[in-house]
Amino acid sequence: MSQSIPVSWSSAEVMIPQTQVQPVEKLSNYDLVLRCQTGHRPQREAFAELLRRYQPHVEKILYHLAPDWQDRADLAQEVWIRVYRNIKRLNEPVKFQGWLSRIATNLFYDELRKRKRVNQPLSLDAPRMLDDGEMDWEIAADNPGPVEKLSTTEFYEQLHRAIADLPDAFRITIVLREIEGMAYEEIAEITGVSLGTVKSRIARARQRLQSQLQNYLDS
């Protein structure tokens, strides 16, 4: 006949692990997206942290796509509204930045179509301020002096003006390709034109930029 053995558990013998909640500032982008995809609505703190980290990225995209639009801040806000509503549909959280870029680009393109329908031409004559140097142009100087720094600043100012002065179709494709790093197929899907047209526009945009900036490139 088997004899039952009494088992007792004391608090000293059993240690129940406590889950430590990391502050959102220390979470990876991947984990922030996952938190935003859990529950009925995106977690407020996690979403706010994503916005803080990626707002400059959204502003950069809109800055290059629409350098003369005065309502870029409103467009940026609309981008995040769309992100909030659709983040649960993102199947690969690791690709959040690319997904965010497409939302911003699609929003810009939708707005551009609306403005063209109501015949509001874009002004390309407004003064432009350069606040970054994101284009990958190679300028040789390890320790530039005052003259070199001035030349570099002038070059980027001319580069930004040259991009802004491109026709809409050329500017959009060159920004999506050279600044956003999108594939030709993605650009074709966003802009609604054929792959061959995308490649042709990018080639012609590069040619025009090189022609306008040749003096700086030679110096």
Going by C-alpha positions, the residue among 54, 113, 62 that lies closest to residue 83 is: 54
Please check whether residue 117 is in contact with residue 97, taking contact to mean a CB–CB distance below 8 angstroms: no
Residue 147 pLDDT: 39
Tokens of residue 55, six digits: 């707002």
Q: What is the pLDDT of residues 51-99, one digit of tens each?
A: 999 999 999 899 888 888 889 999 999 999 999 999 999 999 999 998 9
Tens-digit pLDDT profile for residues 155-183:
677 777 888 888 888 988 988 888 888 88
State which amino acid sits at residue 171: R
- 25-63 burial string, b = 16+ CB within 10 Å, else e? eebeeeebbebbbeeeebbeebbebbeeebeeebbbbbb
Which carries the bigger pLDDT value, residue 129 or residue 68? 68
- Between CA 108 and CA 119 the distance in angstroms is 16
Name residue 114's amino acid. Answer: K
Q: What is the pLDDT of residue 93?
A: 93
